[in-house]
Amino acid sequence: MDELERIRQKKMREMMEKMLNENKPKIEYPDHPIILTSSNFEEVLKKYRYVVVDFWAEWCAPCRLIAPIVETLAKEYAGDVVFGKLNTSEEPGIANRFAITAIPSLIFFRNGKPVDKIVGAVPKGDITRWIRKNMV
C-alpha cells in the first residue's frame, strides 16, 4: 500500500467517525443538582452514566451543611457526573428502596445501578475522592 492510499484510508475513517458522532444525540449535562421525584428518578438514572443522588430532608441540619458542597460539585463535574437531590420526606418509597436509614446519604450510580454510598456530612475533599474512585 502506498502513502497516498494510507492517507485516503485515514481520511475516510475520520470522515466516517465524524459522521457517526454528528448523528448521536447530544446529552446535556446540568451544572446544578436536579430535583428528583418518583416521576423522573428512573429517567435520570437511565439517561446519564454517572449520577450522584443526595438523599436529604428539609428538617435535617447536616443535609443543609453538605447542600452547598453538592451545588459546587455539580458545577465542577458538569459534563461528567449529574447530581440529583431527593427529598426523603416527600419520596419515602425511593428512600426505602435504597435502604436510606440516615441522612444525608449520597449514593453513586453507574449506568443506573447503585455502586457506593456515603452517609453523613463529610468534607468536600472526601466526596471528591469518592466520586473519582467510582468513575470507572
Q: Which residues are catalytic?
A: 60, 63
Cell of 96: 426505602
Alpha carbon separation from 24 to 9, 14, 20, 27, 80 (Å, rounded): 23, 16, 7, 9, 17
Strand partners, 114: 109
